[in-house]
Structure 1
Amino acid sequence: MEYPLIRECIANGVYFSSITDKKFKHNRISVNLIVKLDREKVTDRAVVPFILRQGSKNCPDFTDLNKKLCDLYGASLDAGVDKIGEYQMITLGIIGVDNRFALSGEDMVQECTRMLCEIVLEPDITNGKFNAKNTELEKQYLLETISSEINDKRTYANIRCKDIMCKDEACAIKKYGYAEDAQKITPESAAKAYQELIETAQVEIMFEGCGDPNAAKEIFRKKFAEITRNPISIAKCCTRPQQGEVKQVVEKMDVKQGKLVMGFRVENMDSYTKMNAERVAIGLFGGTASSFLFKNVREKMSLCYYCSSQYDRHTGIMMVYSGVEAVNAQKAKEAILAQLEMMQRGDFSEKDLEETKLFFKTALKATGDSLGAMDSWYLAQIMGGTEVSPDMEIELCSKVTKQDVIDAVNCVKLDTVYMLMPQDEKEGE
């Protein structure tokens, strides 16, 4: 089975990747600036894509910018910040209709690419400063985004467990940064962060859709040839083994529902085949509606409001998330570990395994139905140094055996247990 993504270097540290699928009527083009997570710089970097989204040097007015997008048959710009392993990713993208559907024969690929290039590479910066009004607006939005993570106690507990588990590791740095640093953002500091991103980031340009990517590739090639860059190189994230005693932390807060989050290190994942088996195993453990955590800990034992697991192959970490009553917290922890031990012994059926494989097959097939999902999938492949399409992953999943799952779950080691409990209650004995 041939890998469908075509990737090539078009400038120093700049890569252009494309995948064509004629079933779409649109094309998505994204520019992804990838840098190592840095506690001192992460917050200023996080505000950059949202300021850029407000306009460019040639079109600094947000209203005029949106009029131009409307003229491009309703093309849409998006901006975002993500974290993959130990890297922060700053993204700006555009989705526009393909040339085939332009009423007057316009070259929509070129028009959309030029607009995206203008947004990314010709920002509204004067005398080393972003527009003050736009900076203040996006600074406030960033502060609200950071606050929302704290206000949502489910998200907060997940972050706290990761903080404790990965102390002194780059992957624990928050992708949007920190409120105390966001308060200090200025038009100068944001512009400085932007300039550093352009000069040092590894740039991954993605083109997905039904159109011809060559016009877009050549526009980006010429634009980046004009920029002097000293880009970083992306290294595969090294999984750390579990060390020492299991860390156990209980925090009290004014909450009605307790949160139990457990962090596990997944060791010895030295091949994609093993990672794929681990993905299936963790799906069977707690990643689907037919998983053991859902069926047994939540449904049969009624110990949790929710209970699920998630595996991040870029860091080699599995997290188990659950919402519990304080009196059931210890019982829930023991029950979760008992389900893992059961799988490690091989106490599950071939039917259980086949149901999980079917779930992954359905989910993986859906990846090809969305330009955004395709973008995320292939960026993850690039970041992981692998070349596996969703169809290839389906084939790998279909070959996972019961023994593969047993071997995979025996690579899982408990590292951290974090409980967020109500102030006026005690967790169960």
Structure 2
Amino acid sequence: MERKQLAPGVYITTLDAEKFNRCRITLHLRFPARRESATDAAVLALVLERGYAACPDMTALSRRLAQLYGADLGVDLSSAGSDRVLSADICGIKDRYALAGENLTDAYADIVFGTIFDPYLVDGVFDAEAVRIETETQARRLEAEFNSKRLYCVRQARRKFFGDSPAGIELGGYPGELVHVTPASLKAEYDRILSTASIDVMVQGADEARVAELLLAKLAQVRRDPQPFAAPMGMPAGPLRKFTEEIPALTQAKLCMLFTAGENANPPSVSILRVAMSVLGGSATSRLFRNVREKQSLCYYCGSAAQRATGVMMIDSGVEPGREAEAEAAILAEWEALKNGPITQEEVDDCRRGLLSGMDALGDSLAALENWYYGQITRGEPLYPPEYGKVLTSAVSLDEVRQALQGYSYSVCYAVTAKPGTQGKGGAVDVQ
């Protein structure tokens, strides 16, 4: 593997893909999130996936991908701390397997770079019909959040936790602002992203030199002012805030507990956090699973996760309406026990095995390998393979697990529960 800088804020990373008969080219644009254009950014990803200048609609694009032996194209918007990442990827068979000797690398690069650098425009802005369709699509997605009560509870808790901070900007945008999304506003956000983004191209199994050449040709037409990655942040510790929302006919209540590491300039490594979360609630041998779910039968599920870039730890669970406080107390008791009580080598090793097994499986997927390495790039780490990730994970000590958990303070509790007198009347469709 090798990562090289091609231009200011532009990098190309070549990853080994010898064992695969397919190749993959991924383009990541990491840019600063902005509250006033968050909704435009969310819709933009949907519009870009519909086609580009050479294939201006979904029919033409699908036909072109089919001609390339069934290649796959995807466009996505994700978060990296308080930044956003606009990604486009294409995956198809390698050049050596082309029946007529076609140059598939050029064809793949033309599509994925065309998707980002040569979008289909009408009179200098995005196609109005495409914008209308995808704005409606995004509206349906945002409305659907409420139907998944687990997702709804987690997002409501995060809104209370992050407030107006950059990390609190909604990835999917804001429902009330969709009416203001226009072809011109989308083009303005597109131009901002293209100018300010740090660009990483990940190449697996394709001609890296040719991909770099085609990328630089596209960038020659773009005015660039790349911005640095946002530094890791954390919400300050403060008094615990609790919120309860009642919904009629809810069969299973949801509980989301958020903890903050504060403004820690040197957060624990991702390897330490992985092991700590696995021991707390991220595996079937974790404390929360064994004690809160199995022994005490206080929840239907109970899991933990941590995000290093924003200093947040989350524990979310599904509980019987009316037992939220009991479940919360049991969860806090397990957290306190890990912070201040004994941790056995056996339980840490049991939880660690699942992590090591997952790292073994990364080598079976081009997408999983690419995500592994790009995650290191977003964290500012030197690149290392999953095999070395296993070494780092195996080296995490009991004290490091305890210290990581001691670094959090309880900040926000959000409960979604049944309105009194309506519990369980909604039937199975209400269990989300």
Give the TM-score normalised by structure 1: 0.93
Per-residue CA deviation, residues 326-354 of structure 1 (Å, 9 max, x unaligned), is 22111100100110111112333211111
> Is the partner of 2:28 in helix, strand or coil?
strand
User: Are residue 95 (structure 1) and residue 91 (structure 2) matched?
Assistant: yes
Alignment partner, residue 190 of structure 1? 186
The CA distance in 2 between the partners of 1:115 and 1:400, in whole Å, is 43
How much has 1:281 moved relative to structure 2?
A: 1.3
Within 5 Å, which residues of 2 pair with 1:227-306? Answer: 227-242=222-237, 244-254=238-248, 255-266=250-261, 274-306=269-301
User: Are residue 331 (structure 1) and residue 326 (structure 2) matched?
Assistant: yes
User: Are residue 46 (structure 1) and residue 42 (structure 2) matched?
Assistant: yes
CA contact (8 A) 1:305 1:323 kept: yes
Closer, same or farther: CA 269–394 of 1 in aligned 2, 3 Å:
farther
Gaps of 5+ in 2: 424-432
Alignment partner, residue 126 of structure 2? 130
CA contact (8 A) 2:159 2:168 kept: yes
How much has 1:104 moved relative to structure 2?
A: 1.5
Which AA in structure 2 matches 1:174?
E
CA contact (8 A) 1:311 1:317 kept: yes
Per-residue CA deviation, residues 172-196 of structure 1 (Å, 9 max, x unaligned), is 1111111111232222221222122
Alignment partner, residue 355 of structure 2? 360
Closer, same or farther: CA 318–272 of 1 in aligned 2, 3 Å:
closer
Superposition RMSD in Å: 1.9
How much has 1:425 moved relative to structure 2?
A: 5.8
The CA distance in 2 between the partners of 1:50 and 1:261, in whole Å, is 30
User: Are residue 207 (structure 1) and residue 203 (structure 2) matched?
Assistant: yes
Runs (4+) of structure 1 moved beyond 3 Å? 267-275
Alignment partner, residue 317 of structure 1? 312
Give the TM-score normalised by structure 2: 0.93
How much has 1:117 moved relative to structure 2?
A: 1.6
How much has 1:426 moved relative to structure 2?
A: 11
Alignment partner, residue 404 of structure 2? 408
The CA distance in 1 between the partners of 2:98 and 2:267, in whole Å, is 42
CA contact (8 A) 2:17 2:23 kept: no
The CA distance in 1 between the partners of 2:350 and 2:14, in whole Å, is 33
Alignment partner, residue 226 of structure 1? 221
**102, 110, 115: which one aligns with 1:119:** 115
The CA distance in 2 between the partners of 1:320 and 1:162, in whole Å, is 12
Per-residue CA deviation, residues 115-168 of structure 1 (Å, 9 max, x unaligned), is 212222111112232112211111111111112222211101001111111112
Which AA in structure 2 matches 1:7?
R
The CA distance in 2 between the partners of 1:327 and 1:253, in whole Å, is 13
> Is the partner of 1:264 in helix, strand or coil?
strand
The CA distance in 1 between the partners of 2:72 and 2:303, in whole Å, is 34
**145, 148, 154: which one aligns with 1:149:** 145
The CA distance in 1 between the partners of 2:269 and 2:215, in whole Å, is 37
CA contact (8 A) 1:236 1:383 kept: no
> Is the partner of 2:14 in helix, strand or coil?
strand
Which AA in structure 1 matches 2:212?
K
Once the two structures are overlaid, the 10-residue window that deviates more, 291-300 or 141-150, is: 141-150
The CA distance in 1 between the partners of 2:390 and 2:262, in whole Å, is 23
> Is the partner of 1:23 in helix, strand or coil?
coil
Give the aligned length.
421
How much has 1:231 moved relative to structure 2?
A: 1.8
Gaps of 5+ in 1: none
CA contact (8 A) 2:253 2:318 kept: yes
Closer, same or farther: CA 241–368 of 1 in aligned 2, 3 Å:
farther
Alignment partner, residue 374 of structure 1? 369
Which AA in structure 2 matches 1:226?
Q
> Is the partner of 1:41 in helix, strand or coil?
helix
